[in-house]
Amino acid sequence: MLNISVFANAAAASRFVASLVVNCVTNDPYAVLGVATGSTPSGVYRALTAHRRHFRHVTAFALDEYVGLPSGHPESFASVVDRDVTRALELSPDRVHVPNGLATDPENEASRYEELIRRCGGVDLQLLGMGRNGHIAFNEPGSAHDSRTRVVTLAEQTRLDNSRFFASLDEVPRFALTQGIGTILEARQLIVMAFGDAKAKAVAEAVCGPVSESSPASAVRRHSDVLLVLDLAAASLVESPE
C-alpha cells in the first residue's frame, strides 16, 4: 500500500521528511539511515542540521557512487555525503559508508557493500529520490526488482541530467555502483521524494502504471511501509483514485 503525501512545495515537503527522520533517530539513537544524493534530499539534510545532536551514533549508507571519479572529486557521492550528511549532521565518519568508486575490482566492491549492509542489520529508514526516467539510486529502467548491489551502466538521460553538476557531459562517469532494487526494498521503511515538473511523468508511471521493470520506482509498491512525498508539481500527473 503506497502512502502519498503532497505538499505545496519542496521546502514544506522537506521539512516534513526531516521530522520523520528526527522521529526515527530520537526513537533509536543507533538507527541505520539510508541516504540519497542528488538535489532532492538537500532540503531535508539542511533541515536536519538543527537536530544534529541526535546523529552521533547513527549509521548511514549511501545508495550509490560513480565509478572512476578522482578521490575527493566534489561530485563524487562520497564527497556529497561527507559534506551534506556526515559533517553537516556531525555523524561519526566511521559509521558512514559509501561504495568505493575507485575499487580495483568494482564487482567485488559491490558484493562487499551488500554484505556490509547485511552485517549492520539492514537499513531502518531509507531516503530515496527518483530520476526523471524513474530510476531509484542508479537502477535504470530495465533493472530487475530483485537486483542486488552491482556495477551499472548509466543511461544517457541520467548522464545528461547529472551533467549539471559537472563541467561537461564528458566528465560524467558512464558507470556506477548502486544498491540494487532488491537491496533497497529490504530497508524497513522507505521515504521516496520527488519534486518539480520534471519528475511528474516518472511519478505518474510509478504510482498509476504497472509495477514493471520499465519503472524502477514502481518497485516500491511491493514494499509494506513506503511513503511517497511529493510537491504539487511532481504530483500533477497522478490521477486521484475514483
Q: Which of 48, 80, 130, 192 binds ligand GLP (CB under 6 A)?
A: 130
* Active site annotation includes 145: no
Q: Does 63 bind ligand GLP (CB under 6 A)?
A: yes
Q: How far is the CB of 206 from ligand GLP (least distance, A)?
A: 12
Among positions 151-210, residues that touch ligand GLP (CB under 6 A) are 158, 162
Q: Is 35 in the site for ligand GLP (CB under 6 A)?
A: no
Q: Is 39 in the site for ligand GLP (CB under 6 A)?
A: yes
If binding is defined by CB under 6 A, does position 218 make contact with ligand GLP? no
Among 15-23, 31-39, 181-189, 202-210, the segment contacting ligand GLP (CB under 6 A): 31-39
Catalytic status, residue 140: yes
Cα 222 to chain centroid distance, Å, stands at: 17
Q: What's the DSSP call for residue 239?
A: P
Length of the chain: 242
Residue 215 in the binding site for ligand GLP (CB under 6 A): no
Annotated active-site residue 105? The verdict is no
CA distance 45 to 42: 5
Please identify, using beta-carbon distances, which residue of 40 and 59 lies nearer to ligand GLP: 40
* Binding span for ligand GLP by CB under 6 A among 1-9, 24-32, 99-107, 128-136: 128-136
**CA-to-CA separations, 69 to 44, 83, 90, 152, in angstroms, rounded:** 26, 17, 25, 15
Q: Considering only the stretches 2-10, 15-23, 81-89, 130-138, report the one whose residues sit in contact with ligand GLP under the rule CB under 6 A.
A: 130-138
Dihedral of alpha carbons 147, 149, 154, 158, sign: positive
* Binding range to ligand GLP, per CB under 6 A, among 34-42, 89-97, 204-212, 215-223: 34-42
Among 34, 43, 106, 131, binds ligand GLP (CB under 6 A): 131
Q: Rounded to 5, what percent of the chain is helix, strand, coil?
A: 40, 20, 40
**CB neighbours of 168 closer than 8 A, spacing ≥ 6?**
none
Q: Which residue has the cell 551488500?
A: 114
Dist. CA 202–CA 130, nearest whole Å: 8
- 175-178 and 150-153 beta bridge pairing: antiparallel
Is 3 an active-site residue? no
Q: Which residue among 13, 33, 38, 133 contacts ligand GLP (CB under 6 A)?
A: 38
- Residue 231: strand pairing partners: 7
- Encoded amino acid at 203, one letter: V
Structural contact between residues 176 and 141, judged by C-beta atoms closer than 8 angstroms: no
Catalytic residue among 64, 82, 84, 205: 64
Give catalytic residues, as residue numbers.
64, 133, 135, 140
Where do contacts with ligand GLP occur on this chain (CB under 6 A)?
A: 36-40, 63-64, 129-131, 137-138, 158, 162
